[in-house]
Amino acid sequence: MIKKIKGTNDIIPAQFTDDIFAVEKWQFIENVIRECTLVYGYSEIRTPVFENTELFIHGLGDITDIVTKEMFTFEDRGERSLTLRPEGTASVVRSLLENSLHRKQQINRLFYIGPMFRAERPQKGRYRQFHQCGVENIGDSSTQADIEVIALFWTILHKLGLNNIELVINSVGCPVCRPVYNRVLKEFFADKLEHLCSDCNERYEKNILRMLDCKNEKCQHILNDAPDIQGSLCDDCSGAYHRIKQQLTAIDIPFATSSRLVRGLDYYTQTAFEFIHNGIGAQATVAGGGRYDGLVESTGGPSLPAVGAAFGIERLLLAMEAEEINIPEPAAPVFYLVIFDSDFEEEALRLCYQMRSKESYVELGAAGRAVGKQLKSASKSGAHYAVFIGGEEWQDGYVLIKDLVETKQYKISREGVTSEILLNWFENKK
Ligand code: AMP
């Protein structure tokens, strides 16, 4: 049998699985996302799952881990290099520019939900096809926009019932002050390189800020002693960072600060933040984001400020599992039509079709299957009422209705029985 590809997952009905890949859990999260993004004024955007490779190399930075090691890149039949999107922001920015959204509206608030692809080593919370929900606020340079994005995520996390999430923030500076900090780091690490891992040594040459992101045990004591970026921030950046902290405090969103938080992608400027859950193993970052004021311009558009964030749906589900949060039970059928024998099949089909057209959730037994077995299926489906089409009562001019929840039964005249009669009967029972 052909199996699914390593690092990918099937998302199947909850009746067949109680792990995080039960589709009802996904639908629950997606509904919460839609409710919350709506009240924050964010509209959905859907972009293709593959793009020209150039978009990601350019947008994410050609020395980031994603671009150097993790992209699923292939050539199409016309020998063009295409890549399955490893993240959403570069595509949203491309689409914004290509559709001139920025000319039609000064500030664009957009969100997306969809699969992303990275060739990482699969483990719990890390997959090759995973799913992100991301939000982007493009066109607003004020810290109000940063706060809006953080507050939107905070709202979603709390609406899902998550309580043990920690928000960590930092500022990564801007093209004016980051080079100053890079020089400070260069000097600090210059005589310590032999004690640091090979990744750190490579980053020292190519992208020194990212050294702070190293998770290697043996590097930690050196990295922890590295000078803070705060001392190098320009007035603009340190002012913005101060306002972010003040405004988060004003709206009662608790946070911690960490000068080691630098995020994996090149395009971040000023605010960087992560939401961490400590109960889900090594892959503890549930969401990450920040400001990316240079990306729109470097993608070929005008200079537009922007801030955004994304969370992984799988990691959210792991966090919900760790906090033992249950989602509401899925809806059960109201009626289950039990068919006595195939002579009644058409009558049952007619009723069933009419009721479903009126948006009543109805299940239909299989004509020819024993009545007892159909009743068992009715109970298993969680249906409230079993409606007998055929049988003794039917001969006597009635429809027998069994209340499977309260184990009562009712009879209504079957003379010209229609979906209206059944549905009215049900309305009167409520
Ligand atoms: P990033 O785009 O790397 O900032 O990631 C944002 C969020 O996406 C992370 O906090 C995770 O929740 C999720 N994520 C990133 N990579 C993976 C992956 N390989 N598997 C599952 N979730 C991921």
**Distance from the alpha carbon of residue 208 to the mean position of ligand 1, in angstroms:** 22
In tens digits, the chain (430 residues) has pLDDT values of: 999 999 999 999 998 999 999 999 999 999 999 999 999 999 999 999 999 999 999 888 777 788 888 999 999 999 999 999 999 999 999 999 999 999 999 999 999 999 999 999 999 999 999 999 999 999 999 999 999 999 999 999 999 999 999 999 999 999 999 999 999 999 999 999 999 999 899 999 988 998 998 988 999 999 999 999 999 999 999 999 999 999 999 999 999 999 999 876 667 899 999 999 999 988 899 999 999 999 999 899 999 999 999 999 999 999 999 999 999 888 899 999 999 988 899 989 988 998 898 888 999 999 989 999 999 999 999 999 999 999 888 888 888 999 999 889 988 887 755 667 777 777 776 6
Rounded-to-integer distance, Cα 274 and Cα 158, Å? 16
For a ligand 1 pocket test, name from 132, 168, 273 the mutation site with the most ligand atoms within 8 angstroms of its C-beta. Answer: 132
**C-beta separation of 375 from 409 below 8 A:** no
Three-class DSSP labels, 334-372: CEEEEECCHHHHHHHHHHHHHHHHCCCCEEECCCCCCHH
pLDDT at 62: 72
User: What one-letter code names the amino acid at 294?
Assistant: G
**Distance from the alpha carbon of residue 19 to the mean position of ligand 1, in angstroms:** 19
Residues ≥6 apart with Cβ < 8 Å to 394: 340, 344, 388, 400, 414
**Three-class secondary structure of residue 64 per DSSP:** coil
Tokens of 81: 């290099």
**Distance from the alpha carbon of residue 34 to the mean position of ligand 1, in angstroms:** 20
- Cα R_g (the chain), whole angstroms: 28
- For atom 1 of ligand 1, which residue has the closest CA? 288
For a ligand 1 pocket test, name from 85, 315, 318, 320 the mutation site with the most ligand atoms within 8 angstroms of its C-beta. Answer: 315
Largest CA distance in the chain: 97
Rounded-to-integer distance, Cα 139 and Cα 146, Å? 12
* Beta strand residue intervals within 69-107, DSSP E: 73-75, 81-84
Residues with CB under 6 A from ligand 1: 87, 118, 120, 125-127, 130, 132, 264, 285-288, 310-312, 314-315
**Distance from the alpha carbon of residue 122 to the mean position of ligand 1, in angstroms:** 12
**Phi, psi of 396, rounded to the nearest 5 degrees:** -85, 5
Rounded-to-integer distance, Cα 261 and Cα 44, Å? 29
Tokens of 5: 């590809």
Residues ≥6 apart with Cβ < 8 Å to 225: none
**Three-class secondary structure of residue 97 per DSSP:** helix
**Distance from the alpha carbon of residue 344 to the mean position of ligand 1, in angstroms:** 54
pLDDT at 267: 76
pLDDT at 417: 59
DSSP for 112-169, please give it.
EEEEEE--PPPBTTB-SEEEEEEEEEES--SHHHHHHHHHHHHHHHHHTT---EEEEE
Rounded-to-integer distance, Cα 331 and Cα 8, Å? 28
pLDDT at 358: 83
Sheet with 285-291, side-by-side order of all strands: 43-44, 108-117, 129-138, 306-312, 285-291, 269-277, 165-171, 256-257
Classify 8 in phi/psi space as left (phi over 0), alpha (psi -120 to 50) or beta: beta
